[in-house]
Amino acid sequence: MGVEIRLVEQSDEDLARWWRARSIGYLTDPQAGEQELAYLREALDPSRTWGAFEDGRCVATFRGFVQEVTVPGGPLFASAAVSGVTVSPTHRRRGLLTRMMEPYLRRAKESGEAMSSLIAAEYPIYGRFGYGPATWLTDFRVDTLRAARPGLPAEPDDRGRVVLADLERVRREGPELHERVRRIRHGMVTRPPVWWKKATGEYRLAESAWQEPYCALYLAADGTVDGLVSYTARDTWRNGVPDCVLDVKDLLAATPAAERALWHYLCSVDWVTGINAPSRAPDDLLPLLVGDARAVTPTACSDHLWLRPLDVPAMLTARSYQAEGSLVLDVHDKDGLAAGRFLLEAGPEGASCVPTDRTADLVLPAAALGSLYLGDESAVRLAALGRLEEERPGAATTADTLLRTSRRPWCPDIF
């Protein structure tokens, strides 16, 4: 019998088989106990979770769901997200991923979803399916002794304060703060309730060791929760001298004052000589907040959120633009989903984007548009790489003037 691809049933047995296959692909603990089954029941969209089955065993997994991605200017834009993609080592490179991905994108397009989003485990997997990297992450390491020498990040003067919070309070107040923060930072995605339950230990899955984090909130003078940080610590001593490291799990701030206050707080915890702050925006305030920017070292930088256009006019009219201008984009798409020639007329007041038969200014594959969409990638850079063609001299510069954003997009979450 061949491999059958079908929706996963909500029975314990089917969910456990799906989880085991996913864990084999991700090289994580495959046990599906009560916690995992409860988590899956809450996390999965049964109408978009597929498995490939052979002789009663699940050998490939694919999970779709709808999420919102914040686009430049603040609107939350629905995207057909992809996650939980695995093919067991026994069945790799026989086209199973392709058999799950292609119909998913076709169905998303048919139901009017304008783009798809995912986080790529490995860079080379998804370009062929029309995705391009749209946001990047930087991991920072702070040498707190050096950061403190010319001065810690100044404490804000807005009479706010940092208070410790238990996980119950984080569960209660964190989601609302996140809702505010994601409206002011493009690239961020929906955090469903299940995200908070996992982050605060309500779900403790065997695949990730649980350590209760310390949490602190920043309260503005009027008591509004404007910031949240959660972190764990490693209690290490050398020759009787503390040499402890903090690992930041999450740091959200709705105002620059909150951001400054939370970094001030972290940098001044006694005994701490180093802070690991992973998954920050490449243009995070942190290095310039401390007196000595060299006290903050980027230790890793990698692509994070990938986007795949499905409906170019819907995408391009959803976001805002900092400048006025027009461009004719000829979008190529071997799968036909986003292909077409479109006239974009954009400005700070809004944009229109319609099919056109005018001469193209730029010819580009759908994946390149995915990379440009949130304003992080440069069209001039992609032209230099041969990944888009300038039919009208200067068109790539015009594209950058229109599409690029003052702050870089940031998606801190893994989904």
Q: Which residues are catalytic?
A: 126, 415
Q: Is 85 in the site for ligand COA (CB under 6 A)?
A: yes
Q: Is 90 in the site for ligand COA (CB under 6 A)?
A: no
Retrieve residue 237's tokens: 């001593």
- Shortest Å distance, C-beta 64 to ligand COA: 13
Please report, to the nearest 10 degrees, the dihedral formed by the alpha carbons of residues 189, 186, 81, 76 taken in order: 80
Q: Which of 46, 74, 95, 298 binds ligand COA (CB under 6 A)?
A: 95
Closest listed residue to residue 331, CA positions, set 349, 352, 313, 306: 313
Please report, to the nearest 10 degrees, the dihedral formed by the alpha carbons of residues 37, 41, 42, 45 taken in order: 140
Closest listed residue to residue 392, CA positions, set 313, 339, 329: 329
Q: Is 81 in the site for ligand COA (CB under 6 A)?
A: no
Cβ neighbors of 46 (< 8 A, separation 6 or more) are 7, 8, 9, 10
Segment lying near ligand COA (by CB under 6 A), choices 121-129, 189-197, 309-317, 386-394: 121-129
Q: Is 121 in the site for ligand COA (CB under 6 A)?
A: yes
- Shortest Å distance, C-beta 43 to ligand COA: 16
Rounded distance between C-alpha atoms, residue 37 and residue 16, angstroms: 7
Q: Which of 71, 120, 312, 343 binds ligand COA (CB under 6 A)?
A: 120
Segment lying near ligand COA (by CB under 6 A), choices 123-131, 200-208, 259-267, 373-381: 123-131
Within residues 375-414, the interface with ligand COA by CB under 6 A covers none
Q: Which is nearer to ligand COA, 86 or 144 (CB)?
A: 86
| Residue written as token pair 């690239």 | 187
| Residue written as token pair 């063609």 | 389
Q: Is 367 in the site for ligand COA (CB under 6 A)?
A: no
Q: Is 125 in the site for ligand COA (CB under 6 A)?
A: yes
User: CB-based burial of residue 2 (10 Å sphere; 0-12 exposed, 13-18 middle, 19+ buried)?
Assistant: exposed
Q: Which is nearer to ligand COA, 102 or 155 (CB)?
A: 102
Q: Is 52 in the site for ligand COA (CB under 6 A)?
A: no
Rounded distance between C-alpha atoms, residue 46 and residue 376, angstroms: 34
* Contacting residues toward ligand COA, per CB under 6 A: 25-26, 85-87, 92-98, 120-122, 124-125, 128
